[in-house]
Chain A
Amino acid sequence: MDKVLKIDISAEKGVVELLKYLLQNDRVSGVFTLRKTGSDGSFDYALITEPGLLEDAIPLHPFMHVNAGKILSALPSMRKPVAAVIKPCELRSFVELVKRSQGALDDFLLISYTCGGSFPYKTTVKGQTDKLLPEFWKAVKSGLDSDSIRPTCRACEYFVPMNADITISLIGEKDLDSKCSIFLHSGKSESMVEGFKAEISKGELDLSRFDSLVKKRKEQKEKDFKELNIQDSGLDGMIDIFGKCIGCHGCSRICPICHCILCDFESCAYDYDTSMIENELLGRGGVRVPTDTILYQIGRLSHMSFSCTGCGLCTEVCPADIPVSTIFRKTGEKVAGLFDYVPGKDVDEEIPVTIFKEEELSELGND
Chain B
Amino acid sequence: MSKEFMPKIISFLCKWCTYSGADLAGTNRMKYPPSILPLRVMCSSRVNPVFLIKSFLHGADGVLIGGCHPGDCHYQSGNYYTRRRFAILTTIFDSLGLESERLKLSWISAAEGTKFVRVSTEFNEKIKSMGENPAKKKIFL
Task: List A residues at the B interface (Cβ < 8 Å).
Answer: 230-235, 237-239, 243, 264, 280, 283-288, 292-295, 298-299, 301-302, 305-306, 327, 330-331, 334-335, 338-339, 352-353, 356-358, 360-362, 364-367
Q: Tell me which of B25-33, B34-42, B76-84 binds A.
A: B76-84
Residues of B close to A294: CB separation below 8 A: 57, 140-141
Nearest A residue to B65 via CB reads A365
Partner of B115 from the list A239, A339, A352, A367 (CB cut-off 8 Å) is A367
B136 near A284 with CB under 8 A, answer yes
Q: Taking each of A285, A293, A339, A356, which has the highest tally of chain B beta carbons within 10 Å of its own beta carbon?
A: A356
A298 near B92 with CB under 8 A, answer yes
With A338-B87, A364-B83 already in contact, the answer to whether A358 and B70 are too (CB < 8 A) is: yes
With A330-B95, A353-B81 already in contact, the answer to whether A358 and B139 are too (CB < 8 A) is: no
Partner of B54 from the list A233, A295, A301, A358 (CB cut-off 8 Å) is A295
Kindly provide the distance from the CB of B133 to the nearest chain A CB, expressed in whole angstroms.
9
B97 near A298 with CB under 8 A, answer no
Cβ contacts B47-78/A at 8 Å (1 or 0 each) = 00110011001110000000100110000010
Task: List B residues at the A interface (Cβ < 8 Å).
Answer: 49-50, 53-54, 57-59, 67, 70-71, 77, 80-81, 83-89, 91-92, 94-99, 105-108, 115, 118-119, 122, 134-141
B54 near A367 with CB under 8 A, answer no
B139 near A284 with CB under 8 A, answer yes
Nearest A residue to B66 via CB reads A365
Kindly provide the distance from the CB of A290 to the nearest chain B CB, expressed in whole angstroms.
12
Residues of B close to A230: CB separation below 8 A: 95-97
Partner of A353 from the list B70, B85, B97, B108 (CB cut-off 8 Å) is B85
Partner of B53 from the list A285, A302, A339, A361 (CB cut-off 8 Å) is A302
Residues of B close to A237: CB separation below 8 A: 96-97
Nearest B residue to A357 via CB reads B80
Residues of A close to B98: CB separation below 8 A: 234-235, 238
B84 near A353 with CB under 8 A, answer yes
A231 near B88 with CB under 8 A, answer no
CA distance A293 to B122 in the complex (A): 33
CA distance A338 to B122 in the complex (A): 27
A353 near B83 with CB under 8 A, answer no
A-B complex: 9 closest residue pairs judged by Cβ atoms: A356-B80, A231-B97, A286-B139, A234-B97, A302-B49, A365-B107, A331-B95, A365-B105, A239-B140
The secondary-structure label for the interface of chain A is helix
A353 near B141 with CB under 8 A, answer no
CA distance A360 to B80 in the complex (A): 9
B107 near A366 with CB under 8 A, answer yes
A302 near B89 with CB under 8 A, answer yes
Interchain Cβ contacts under 8 Å between A and B, 28 examples: A230-B96, A231-B94, A231-B97, A234-B96, A234-B97, A234-B98, A234-B99, A235-B134, A235-B138, A243-B140, A283-B136, A284-B59, A292-B54, A292-B57, A294-B57, A295-B141, A298-B57, A299-B49, A301-B96, A305-B92, A331-B92, A339-B84, A353-B85, A364-B86, A364-B87, A366-B107, A367-B118, A367-B119
Residues of A close to B67: CB separation below 8 A: 365
Residues of A close to B140: CB separation below 8 A: 239, 243, 288, 293-294
Residues of A close to B54: CB separation below 8 A: 292, 295
Nearest A residue to B53 via CB reads A298
CA distance A330 to B91 in the complex (A): 11
Q: Taking each of A237, A338, A367, which has the highest tally of chain B beta carbons within 10 Å of its own beta carbon?
A: A367
Residues of A close to B91: CB separation below 8 A: 331, 334-335, 338
A306 near B88 with CB under 8 A, answer yes
Residues of B close to A293: CB separation below 8 A: 140-141
Kindly provide the distance from the CB of A266 to the nearest chain B CB, expressed in whole angstroms.
13
Residues of B close to A364: CB separation below 8 A: 83, 86-87, 105
Residues of A close to B97: CB separation below 8 A: 230-235, 237-238
Partner of A361 from the list B84, B122, B135, B136 (CB cut-off 8 Å) is B84
CA distance A331 to B94 in the complex (A): 9
Kindly provide the distance from the CB of B130 to the nearest chain A CB, expressed in whole angstroms.
13
A285 near B139 with CB under 8 A, answer yes
Kindly provide the distance from the CB of A357 to the nearest chain B CB, expressed in whole angstroms.
8
Residues of B close to A362: CB separation below 8 A: 70
CA distance A232 to B98 in the complex (A): 9
CA distance A339 to B92 in the complex (A): 14
Kindly provide the distance from the CB of B65 to the nearest chain A CB, expressed in whole angstroms.
9
B83 near A365 with CB under 8 A, answer yes
Residues of B close to A234: CB separation below 8 A: 96-99, 134
